[in-house]
Amino acid sequence: DFGQVADDLGLNLFVVGGFVRDLLLRQENFDIDLVVEGDGIAFARRCAERFACRFRSHEKFGTAVIIFEDGFKVDVASARMEYYSRPAALPTVEYASIKLDLFRRDFTINTLAIALNRGRYGELLDFFGGQRDLKDKAIRVLHNLSFVEDPTRVFRAVRFEQRLGFRIGRPTEHLLRGAVRQGFVERVGGSRLFRELELILREPDPWPAVERLASFDLLRFVHPQLKLDKTLARVFAEASRVVHWYQLLFLERPCRPWLIYFLCLTSALGREAMAEACRRLNVPPRIARLVTEGREEALAVRQRMRRWRHRKKPPAASEIYRLLHPLERDLVLFVMSLAEDERIKQWISHYFNHLAQVKCELDGDDLRQLGIPPGPVYRAILDDLLNARLDGRVTGRDEELAYVR
Ligand code: ATP
């Protein structure tokens, strides 16, 4: 019981932010953020001792994570006042009250806190009208400079608005548009922009938020050429169908919906523009490679499949496999989202349903026992064997042996 630990240390303890918001909205939320008035790290350390679990701390920020055996995590922060000895110097941490901590948050609906100490357990703290705004279904900032102070909040405003089915309040919308118009968003580092965009694309249905971003002229921060049109809407709708279909069927082979949506969002950008977007957003190298070079390969695959439609004979299973197998799964799903033709969708769905897992039973050891001298020829034989299996020309191990012989 966290409250008891806090009592023992003589500290005030609160659960804050998204957890409280979602509790009042009766929505599930397993992200617990605690704020301690005082030394949050000492609190986390004591919790770790008491509950026989681990903890990690960031002394510089006065924060800690308590990590339970089963992987469950609780974030702990110290209510503190930041002041800057020099501009651009790291904040020196000074303890201060919970109210000040809550005042620095993005929106009123995220400023609610519940006391956890035993004497006042369950007491709701609402300094900034959070309950009112939950009732009004309104996203509101706490003060006029909020978006200037941290322009990533414009993306957060859109994300919360769409996720919760709320509306950005009038004055807040005004401030948001002002911050965009005055170029504050340009000053945000690429990585932070990309993270906010990713969070939006991680929502179950990101399309309405993308539309909203466009209405605030925020898509240009991904790339100036990006615009919202019918094609984009159609691709997104298709991607959403594809993702849901895939997730329902292939739980054990996860895909990354946000990445598929990112590929859709940027699908109108050419090769060079995409590379530019990656540079601008400081996209991590592995993702950047996937959405540039990987995407080019995916588009080539798409071209091939489109040509297949004009052939007399449908493609053999092994042809489908060889075409799709080298692509990362998310790219295959992207190709599927782009497909206007049912046949292309069917080939890809056949691949996931029946082909992706096919293996032959023989391996290199078997080939050696058959007396075939080891070398690059093994690869060729096993590839050929797999093709035969995919196309149903061999089935069991015996047939494979016969085939190789
Ligand atoms: P989610 O359900 O998406 O996790 P959350 O409210 O928990 O929603 P987080 O991004 O995890 O959101 O942030 C935790 C808390 O930290 C938020 O409730 C918010 O008050 C605060 N916060 C996060 N980012 C900012 C920011 N850029 N400016 C001000 N406060 C922020």
Q: What is the pLDDT of residue 80?
A: 65
Question: Which is the closest atom of ligand 1 to the Cα of 107?
Answer: 20
Residue 105 Cα to ligand 1 midpoint, Å, equals 8
Q: What is the pLDDT of residue 217?
A: 94
For residue 244, the one-letter residue type is H
Task: Specify the residue with its C-alpha closest to ligand 1, atom 9.
Answer: 18
Residue 48 Cα to ligand 1 midpoint, Å, equals 25
Residues 6+ apart with CB under 8 A from 326: 297
Q: What is the pLDDT of residue 4?
A: 94
pTM of the model: 0.89
150 in ligand 1 pocket by Cβ < 6 Å? yes
Question: Which is the closest atom of ligand 1 to the Cα of 22?
Answer: 2
Q: What is the pLDDT of residue 367?
A: 83
Task: Specify the residue with its C-alpha closest to ligand 1, atom 18.
Answer: 17
Residue 275 burial by CB count (10 A; 0-12/13-18/19+): exposed, middle or buried?
middle
Which DSSP string do the residues of 219-255 spell out, in sequence order?
Answer: GGGT-TT----HHHHHHHHHHHHHHHHHHHH-TTS--
What does each of the 405 residues of the chain score in pLDDT, given as a tens digit?
A: 899 999 999 999 999 999 999 999 999 999 999 999 988 999 999 999 999 899 999 998 889 999 998 989 999 999 865 543 444 444 444 434 888 889 999 999 999 999 999 989 999 999 999 999 999 999 999 999 999 999 999 999 999 999 999 999 999 999 999 999 999 998 888 999 999 999 999 999 999 999 999 999 999 999 999 999 999 999 999 999 999 999 999 888 999 999 999 999 999 999 999 999 999 999 999 999 999 999 999 999 999 999 998 888 889 999 999 999 999 999 999 999 999 889 999 999 999 999 998 888 888 888 888 888 888 888 888 988 898 899 988 888 888 888 878
Residue 107 Cα to ligand 1 midpoint, Å, equals 9
ipTM score for this prediction: 0.95
Query: Mutate which of 27, 31, 159 to test ligand 1's pocket (most atoms within 8 Å of Cβ)?
Result: 31
203 in ligand 1 pocket by Cβ < 6 Å? no
Task: Specify the residue with its C-alpha closest to ligand 1, atom 12.
Answer: 18
Q: How far apart are CA 348 and CA 382, in angstroms?
A: 23
Q: What is the pLDDT of residue 133?
A: 97
User: 3-class DSSP state for residue 186?
Assistant: helix
Specify whether the CB–CB gap between 158 and 216 falls below 8 A: yes
Tokens of 246: 């895939």
The total number of residues written for the chain in this structure: 405
Specify whether the CB–CB gap between 2 and 35 falls below 8 A: no
Residue 153 Cα to ligand 1 midpoint, Å, equals 10
75 in ligand 1 pocket by Cβ < 6 Å? no
Phi and psi torsions of 95, nearest 5°: -75, 140
Q: What is the pLDDT of residue 97?
A: 80
Q: How far apart are CA 195 and CA 190, in angstroms?
A: 9
For residue 40, the one-letter residue type is G
Residue 80 Cα to ligand 1 midpoint, Å, equals 17
